[in-house]
Amino acid sequence: MSKFLIVGLGNIGAEYAHTRHNIGFDVVDALVAKHEAVFRTDRLADVAEAKLKGKSMVIIKPSTYMNLSGKAVKYWMEKEKIPVEQVFIILDELALPIEKSRIRGAGSDGGHNGLKSIQEQLGTSAYPRLRFGIGNNYPKGRQVDYVLGKWNPEEIPLIVRKIQQTIPIIESFVLAGLTNTMNHFNNVEYKL
């Protein structure tokens, strides 16, 4: 059976729940709920498992905090014997507007500490990822407050919808592969 590691990036702790930086957690929470799976606390992460048409998804939320996400990714890849091309990272992206997401098979960390940690631990920047646009509507010098802040009330309906519409992207990655998923979903604009 083909196995995939689906990783939602975020920070543990109530103060980080449902912030922009934790969108990866929110997406995998929705994926796990859809597949009626349950997270359990395990080594370096909360872990859930779900089946999708004969494929197996190991879904994790690293409990290492964002800056050490790579430790959890590497550990679960090795434990479950999952190759790097069958890993899918979901993260927040300042450089994209809220209406967009971008799927890539490789690339720089773009200043994202979660990706930086993954790249250091894996020794490569060639791993599939979905950058979930969070916009960059903050005053100069307030980037950290923005990223660690909660969504504005008027953004929430779109974000809720976009989280739901991200689930088919993850499922497409598992079932149809990276190239087909990029071709199908990279130019989608999310609207209410």
Q: Looking at the annotation, which residues are catalytic? A: 21
3-state DSSP assignment of residue 163 = helix
Report the run of H or E that residue 133 belongs to, with start and end: strand 129-133
DSSP class per residue in 2-33: -EEEEEE----SGGGTTBGGGHHHHHHHHHHH
If one counts every other C-beta atom within 10 angstroms of the C-beta of residue 176, the result is 12
Task: Give the span between the Cα atoms of 45 and 54, in whole angstroms.
Answer: 24
Q: Which of 25, 121, 109, 36 is nearest to 77 (CA)?
A: 121
Q: Which of 44, 145, 63, 132 is nearest to 91 (CA)?
A: 132
